[in-house]
Structure 1
Amino acid sequence: MRKSHIFTSLVLLGCVTGLTSCSHETHAATEQPAVVVQVRAPAVVERPESVSASGSVEGSETADVAFLVGGRVTRVLVEEGQAVSKGQLLAEIESTDYQNAFNTASAQKAAAQAVEQRADAGLRKQELEQTRIDLERAEDEYNRMKFLVERKSLPPNDFKKYEAAYNNARERYDQAQEGTRKEDRAAAAAQAHAAAAQATEENKRLSDTRLLAPISGNIEMRKVDPGQTVAAGIPVFTIVELNPVKARVGVPEAEIGKVHQAATAEVSAPSLGGRWFKGKVAIIGVAAEPASRTYSVKILVPNPGPVLLAGMVAEARIFGPARVHALTIPAEAVVPDPQGAPIVYAYSPDRKRVYGRRVEVGPPVGNEVEIRSGLHGDEQVVVVGQQKVREGSLVEIAGGAR
């Protein structure tokens, strides 16, 4: 019996020893070889103080264009996206009725001006002489009839007719000598001015049948086609000036004090692959948006081409006069973690392993990118081989840490 217990104990001891040996062999087999990487410390650089903000691109000037008179559209000469110049013809409406109204007004103007000229000139010499002759005839007739009525040869009622004719002739002659009355000349002048104003108005309405571009830019919207009837004042085109453009961004209340008029700025559109455009601050809002507590800032950006288009998402950096220190690393050293957040791998000399650090990436600084948070500056960051490592990977430093 005792021998049996001893044998059993020896068997159990052998199994335990074998399992321990197998465990060590398995661990050694699963240990990954060290990944060769290069590391370096973040660089410390001096750069201008800047404020980052986001927003959108908009035209530096926008105009909704409408006919000032109504009618049927006969021609449309531009398409959406087309570049136009100030004063360029965009569309026309039927002008026959407006032409006829202008012709009528022009004739009335000419007639009124003729009346005014006649009033200013007064009677001609021939007309004055005729009124004198008429007066002499009436006076002679009056004297003869007066002689007859005094001798009871003419009834008094018949004499009154000759007397009235004589008085009228004298009054006409007196008026002819005095010329046109002042109030008549004023009335004639007023009628001439009214007719001229009406003609000018009809001429403007006729010219308004031709729709001209009020600004230079690009056709952003077209809402009219030939044959349509349009009403006065309803926009049929929108023109937007894209060179320069304005980037409207929202600056947080905590940083608006760093933004100054005419400050240098840079604007980028993610849809253009991160290309940056230089500009200057043109307008700083004076009231914060109630919900976001941000102030609207407009940056004027030269935009030949145009390259930046209205409505694009814009990222902006607005620079101030102060200088600050920043940490920078190569952009390729930043990789996404499984959740998509940016991280860098920092080397631990004691463990000879690398561990991810979530970082906040700032704007480019030269050929590198700024790291706003996540690093202290004394770390050794993987700059070559970062795509081959993961959290806790064993690494071998090529050329030593720098």
Structure 2
Amino acid sequence: MKRRLGSLVLTIIIAVSFTACSAKDNKAEVKEKVIPVKTMKIEEEGIQNSITYTGIVNAKEVGKYSFKSAGKISNVYVEKGQKVAKGQKLVSLDTKDLSFSIDAAKAQMDVAQAQYDKAVKGASEEDIKKAELTVQKAQEAYDYSKNTYEKVLMMYNSQKVTKEELDKAKLEMNIKALDLDIANETLNQIRKGASSEDIRALKGQLDSAKINYESKKKLAEDSLLTAEMEGYIVDVLSKPGEIVAAGYPVIAVRGESEIVNIGLSQDDMQRVKVGTNVMVNIDDKESTGKITRIDQVPDKQSRTYNAEIELSKGDFPIGAIGKTSIILEESTGMLIPINAIMHDTEDYVYTIVNGKAEKKPIKIEDTLGDKVKISGVSKGDILVIEGIKSLSSGVKVIAQQ
């Protein structure tokens, strides 16, 4: 009996000892439990304080090309939408009629030049000899007519000829006398040379002829329109064979540079300055730019102030609509995801220190989309961003990707 009792007691003692050991092991397992979390390293980042507007893309430069003289379109070398290089041929006029006009103007200028040169340099020996020969012939003709008149006069006095025949002989003598006077005057002028008044008059005629020739020559040069900038053909307004008036636009070209126009509110107009940096996003394509102009008078309908943003690189479709972010100021700070913040009586986050979660109160300074700028943490801290709700200070954690 005593032996059975002893065995029972021993069994109970062993069982109790085993249960106690098992409890210790379970408690140890609870204490060593590790919670998996996702983390990020806190860094100091650049922060932009900006305002957002919707804008429309436009060409910075649009040139409408026209001819300086009327004419018929000969050739159109480009098509709407085509990219063109500076100096590339666009449209030309038919120059056949203009070529004849240029030749005539050139001939007129050459004659005026010759007359002016002759007046300035004086007559040549050949010219003087020709003038002296003309005087000699005129003198001979006058002497002959005078001798004839005297004979007819004697016959008239003896009533052998009529009064009409006498008058005819006298008229012929007077004509020859006038021719002799003109020949002598011409000879004297040739010997003396042209007067200063004549030279000035000839110089005026020459200058006028030169201007006429150069203007027609320039019209011929202007009969070909070329691109004054790299860009794209916006529209072709005329066809070959059409008659166009001087100054009438025949083609439109836009430059490669692009701008975005936005309408600023009165309050923002006071905050934005010329030179302010802008980020532009159109159809998920981004570009940078600067404010280059702000109208000081609002639009009558929208009551907004038009602002012009010049893009650093423009390859957006004209008329495209996109989002613009005007950067008012830039700073640095600690940015974290907004979903990493917990709130009880205050805002706080969890960081990892020596493998354990540590609760840190923080202060929210600004909200930037899905991130917030905070204070209360340090650069390089490991921030818990997922698995936060299972944490408390001192709990062991393991970071997972």
Category of TM-score, reference length = shorter chain = 0.5 to 0.7
Structure 1 residues 184 and 310, CA gap change in structure 2 (3 angstroms): same
Structure 1 residues 83 and 138, CA gap change in structure 2 (3 angstroms): closer
Residue in 2 that maps onto 1:293: 303
- Deviations along 1:291-336, one digit per CA (max 9) or x if unpaired, are 3332222111122xx5212211132222234659898747xx8xxx
The more displaced of 285-294 and 225-234 is 225-234
Secondary structure in 1 matching 2:310? strand
Structure 1 residues 39 and 202, CA gap change in structure 2 (3 angstroms): same
Secondary structure in 1 matching 2:229? coil
Once residues 304 and 325 of structure 2 are traced to their aligned partners in structure 1, the CA distance between those partners, rounded to angstroms, is: 15
Residue in 1 that maps onto 2:289: 279
1:215 partnered with 2:225: no
The aligned runs of 1:225-240 (5 Å cut-off) are 225-240=239-254
The aligned runs of 1:66-105 (5 Å cut-off) are 66-105=66-105
Structure 1 residues 245 and 179, CA gap change in structure 2 (3 angstroms): same
Once residues 237 and 129 of structure 1 are traced to their aligned partners in structure 2, the CA distance between those partners, rounded to angstroms, is: 63
Once residues 204 and 51 of structure 2 are traced to their aligned partners in structure 1, the CA distance between those partners, rounded to angstroms, is: 65
Deviation at 1:207, TM superposition (A): 2.6
Secondary structure in 2 matching 1:197? helix
1:64 partnered with 2:48: no
The aligned runs of 1:295-334 (5 Å cut-off) are 295-303=305-313, 307-321=315-329, 323=331, 329=337
Once residues 291 and 324 of structure 1 are traced to their aligned partners in structure 2, the CA distance between those partners, rounded to angstroms, is: 40
Structure 1 residues 192 and 300, CA gap change in structure 2 (3 angstroms): same
- Deviations along 1:355-378, one digit per CA (max 9) or x if unpaired, are xxxxxxxxxxxxxx82499x9999
1:370 partnered with 2:383: no
Deviation at 1:254, TM superposition (A): 0.3
Once residues 323 and 161 of structure 1 are traced to their aligned partners in structure 2, the CA distance between those partners, rounded to angstroms, is: 107
Structure 1 residues 233 and 328, CA gap change in structure 2 (3 angstroms): farther
Residue in 2 that maps onto 1:54: 54
Secondary structure in 1 matching 2:115? helix
Deviation at 1:210, TM superposition (A): 1.8
1:201 partnered with 2:215: yes
1:114 partnered with 2:122: no
Structure 1 residues 170 and 226, CA gap change in structure 2 (3 angstroms): closer
User: Are the counterparts in 2 of residues 135 and 170 from structure 1 also a CA contact under 8 Å?
Assistant: yes
Secondary structure in 2 matching 1:289? coil
The aligned runs of 1:115-194 (5 Å cut-off) are 115-131=115-131, 167-194=181-208
Secondary structure in 2 matching 1:308? coil
Deviation at 1:86, TM superposition (A): 2.2
User: Are the counterparts in 2 of residues 267 and 317 from structure 1 also a CA contact under 8 Å?
Assistant: yes
Structure 1 residues 167 and 225, CA gap change in structure 2 (3 angstroms): closer
Once residues 186 and 218 of structure 1 are traced to their aligned partners in structure 2, the CA distance between those partners, rounded to angstroms, is: 52
Which residue, out of 258, 263, 273, partners 1:245? 258
Deviation at 1:56, TM superposition (A): 0.9
Once residues 113 and 349 of structure 1 are traced to their aligned partners in structure 2, the CA distance between those partners, rounded to angstroms, is: 103
Deviation at 1:62, TM superposition (A): 0.8
User: Are the counterparts in 1 of residues 333 and 374 from structure 2 also a CA contact under 8 Å?
Assistant: no
User: Are the counterparts in 2 of residues 47 and 326 from structure 1 also a CA contact under 8 Å?
Assistant: no
Structure 1 residues 107 and 172, CA gap change in structure 2 (3 angstroms): closer
Secondary structure in 2 matching 1:51? strand
Tell me the TM-score normalised to structure 1 length. 0.61
Once residues 45 and 316 of structure 1 are traced to their aligned partners in structure 2, the CA distance between those partners, rounded to angstroms, is: 22
Secondary structure in 2 matching 1:286? coil
Deviation at 1:220, TM superposition (A): 1.7
- Deviations along 1:100-138, one digit per CA (max 9) or x if unpaired, are 222222222222222222222221123334545666888
Deviation at 1:95, TM superposition (A): 2.2
Which residue identity does 1:287 align to in structure 2?
V
Residue in 1 that maps onto 2:277: 264
Deviation at 1:285, TM superposition (A): 1.8
Once residues 185 and 83 of structure 2 are traced to their aligned partners in structure 1, the CA distance between those partners, rounded to angstroms, is: 73
Secondary structure in 1 matching 2:60? strand
Residue in 2 that maps onto 1:20: none
* Identical-residue share of aligned pairs (%): 21
User: Are the counterparts in 2 of residues 38 and 399 from structure 1 also a CA contact under 8 Å?
Assistant: no
Once residues 264 and 370 of structure 2 are traced to their aligned partners in structure 1, the CA distance between those partners, rounded to angstroms, is: 18
Residue in 1 that maps onto 2:19: none
User: Are the counterparts in 2 of residues 57 and 312 from structure 1 also a CA contact under 8 Å?
Assistant: yes
